[in-house]
Amino acid sequence: MRVGQGFDVHPFSDDPSRPLVLGGVVVEGSRGLSGHSDADVLAHALSDALLGAAGLGDIGRHFPDTDPRYAGADSVQLLSRVVGLVADARLRAANADCTLLAERPKLSPLLPAMAERLSAVLGAPVSVKASRGEGLGAIGRAEGIACLAVVLLDAL
């Protein structure tokens, strides 16, 4: 068994047409996050947790933000590729636990859909929770959204 942790954070975008995507779910009526890809902090943190547990580096090594192929990329598709890399290392996810950190928007109604989408990609249970910054720091001032992820891998 191997354990990995991941973290990601993105500021809110000033582009009013940019959607907010978390765990592959579009959050309607909310400002999107700024980033090279779709800036899905949940998928990014989970990817980093998987890569770390497998000893395969991080998401930036595999999908650099300097590569135009990943401009606007669907991060859940990138996560699927990470799952493939982990499988190539003869490992598979047993479970994952993720915590979104956001002052707004209210995410609780969408958490089950995010967990379901990510569980399908991982082929293992994914728990998704949300917490607030309580007014402290950049997250508490609603300047962006962050995510923490932990994953447990088993050998194939």
Q: In angstroms, how far is CA 136 from the centroid of its own chain?
A: 22
> What are the structural domain ranges in the chain?
2-155
Q: How is residue 15 written in tokens?
A: 């582009």
pTM over 0.95: yes
Predicted pLDDT of residue 120: 98
Predicted pLDDT of residue 70: 96
Q: How is residue 80 written in tokens?
A: 């699927």
Predicted pLDDT of residue 141: 97
Q: Which CATH number fits domain 2-155: 1.10.940.10, 3.90.79.10, 3.30.43.10, 3.30.1330.50?
A: 3.30.1330.50
